[in-house]
Amino acid sequence: MSVSVEEPTYATYLKLVTSAFLACVTLIFVRRRWFSSISDIPGPFLGSFSVLWQIRHAIKGHTEEETIAEHRRHGDFVRIGYNEVSIGHPDAINEVLKSQMNKGDWYRIFSLPDSRYVNQMSEVDAKRHITKTKNIAPGYAFSNVIKAEPYVDGALRLFEKRLDSLSEAHLPVNFDEWFNFLGFDIMGEVTFSKQFGFLDQGRDIGGAIANTRMLGIYVAIMGHFWWAHDYLLANPLIGYLNLQPTMHIFDTALAAVDRRSKNDQVRKDMIEQWMDMRKKHPERMEEKEILAAAVANIGAGADTVSATLQALFYNLLRNEETLTQLREEIDGANLAEVPTHEETQQLPFLQACIKETLRVHTPVAFGLPRVAPKGGVTVLGRHFDEGVILSVNPWVIHQRPDIFGNDADVFSPARWMDPIRAREMEKSFTAFGAGYNQCPGRHLAHMELCKTTAMLVRDYDIKQVNKGKSWRFESHFTAVPYDWPCYVTRRCNQ
Ligand code: HEM
């Protein structure tokens, strides 16, 4: 008697593979949700087993608001990813950001134009990062930045000329574009003595600035899948085929660095400082680090300044008394045609307005991730195992009523005018980050903010085209507003 054995069919194989896949997914889900070393930390459901909560809000564009809301709901620790805890207490500035923990792998996404160019932003290893920082520090030193002041003045004069033309033609000024034009052109001047031409041409050449918004979304999402970056935007083929979304910016930087190697009649700009450093220490600085650092600068230094200037003027338009007080201080100071950096340091209310803007609309609106080292780490009395990602979002700290007052969500520069209170709040002020990753461009940023604000407040009346209409902004890594066109007119007494 013969027994017939049925041949497994394609459908049976498919069922088997599907069941195995579902079993694996269930196992991963159960393990992450209930058996991870951070399973006891509360947070959004999606964050308990995946990075979907972070991706969802990176796409929606308000990670900062959602992270604040989660901290108000759950306290200082919130599990925002299967392996990531957001810490909302100011002590995390010392215990996490100022420690020597490596940065999260998420930062690797910042290797641009492609993965060969690891810059200080994308270098995640703390030791290598510190060497890179030492190599480029002379370029950012205040003593070097201040030498660029006459060139910043040149950009500001051109900026006002463009505002005058728009004003005469009764055309609205989109400050999201114009502050970006200014920010990029100043970065070009200071980094490699060449503007990008945005102010000169008065337009977004090659759509480079509009595309930085797309780049922001790409960075926020793909940072979680940085290993795929090499096959996507950082693929050298993309650069070769000119498909980078911000090609005008990279091309201008590349050409300026290349020209430099053939020309020794140059200013002591940042590139020159870095080239000098490489001559002195060729063993610790590769040539491609110079271009990488220039690109990091341009990526980090333009839209952050634009966001701050926009937030400052947007808030001044909504706070007439504050604007009047600031204007009285500025008008009474008899400033130079382009106010000097030194003059602006003597204006306490201007300084308070800038500080308050950086607090209430902090340009970097994303958790800054660090990785618990070998043996784990204790933060705020709680132990975290090796490899757990600990992130600190400056917005969460800056909106704490226990530090900044019950009106912490309101723009109120006066809070910085009491020196004792200001000293206390300063300890929790983290707009420029902290520790070995602290923003190296902060001196330049501060100079740009002081000079531009003093000059514009003195020279122009600004009115929103639609009075009182709210702006829009989405925060991916940076929170850059848009959609609040204004009319500008020269003030009568000028
Ligand atoms: C208002 C303006 C600015 C703000 C609020 C700001 C804020 C920040 C913050 C918070 C970080 C640290 C991120 C982290 O811990 O991962 C950072 C890093 C950085 N910033 Fe700025 N920045 C500003 C302007 C600038 C300017 C003008 C430049 C260039 C001259 C610049 C260059 C950089 C670079 C190169 C890094 C990477 C540093 C590192 O990882 O070591 N930034 N910035």
Q: What is the pLDDT of residues 147-175, one digit of tens each?
A: 999 999 999 999 999 999 999 999 999 99
Ligand 1 atom closest to Cα of 97? 15
Shortest-distance Cα residue to atom 20 of ligand 1: 439
Shortest-distance Cα residue to atom 39 of ligand 1: 437
Tokens of 44: 């959004």
Tell me the CA–centroid distance for residue 440 and ligand 1, in Å.
6
Ligand 1 atom closest to Cα of 358? 5
Shortest-distance Cα residue to atom 6 of ligand 1: 432
pLDDT of residue 5: 63
Tell me the CA–centroid distance for residue 443 and ligand 1, in Å.
10
Tell me the CA–centroid distance for residue 434 and ligand 1, in Å.
10
Is 439 labeled as ligand-binding? Answer: yes
Domain boundaries along the sequence of the chain: 12-82, 83-490
Q: Please, is 66 exposed, middle or buried when counting C-beta atoms within 10 Å of its C-beta (0-12, 13-18, 19+)? A: middle
pLDDT of residue 151: 95
384/378 Cα distance (integer angstroms): 6
Ligand 1 atom closest to Cα of 132? 41
Tell me the CA–centroid distance for residue 97 and ligand 1, in Å.
14
Ligand 1 atom closest to Cα of 123? 40
Tell me the CA–centroid distance for residue 438 and ligand 1, in Å.
7
pLDDT of residue 239: 63
pLDDT of residue 150: 96
pLDDT of residue 243: 56
Give the fold, CATH level 3, of 83-490.
Answer: Cytochrome p450 (1.10.630)
CA nearest neighbour of 379 among 97, 47, 34 = 97
CA nearest neighbour of 491 among 323, 246, 284 = 323
Tell me the CA–centroid distance for residue 314 and ligand 1, in Å.
22
Tell me the CA–centroid distance for residue 300 and ligand 1, in Å.
6
Shortest-distance Cα residue to atom 30 of ligand 1: 441
Shortest-distance Cα residue to atom 1 of ligand 1: 305
pLDDT of residue 78: 98
pLDDT of residue 231: 78
Ligand 1 atom closest to Cα of 302? 27
User: What is the best residue among 439, 453, 478 to mutate for testing ligand 1's pocket, by most ligand atoms within 8 Å of CB?
Assistant: 439
pLDDT of residue 143: 92
Residues of the chain under the 70 pLDDT cut: 1-6, 236-248, 261-265, 493-494
C-alpha 331: how far from chain center: 32
Residues in the chain: 494
User: What is the best residue among 120, 135, 192, 304 to mutate for testing ligand 1's pocket, by most ligand atoms within 8 Å of CB?
Assistant: 304
Q: Please, is 157 exposed, middle or buried when counting C-beta atoms within 10 Å of its C-beta (0-12, 13-18, 19+)? A: middle
pLDDT of residue 7: 72
Shortest-distance Cα residue to atom 37 of ligand 1: 121
Q: Which residues form the pocket of ligand 1, taking CB atoms under 6 Å from any ligand atom? A: 120-121, 133, 296-297, 300-301, 304-305, 308, 363-364, 368, 431-433, 437, 439-441, 444-445
Tell me the CA–centroid distance for residue 193 and ligand 1, in Å.
20
Tell me the CA–centroid distance for residue 431 and ligand 1, in Å.
9
- φ and ψ at residue 144, rounded to 5 degrees: -85, -45
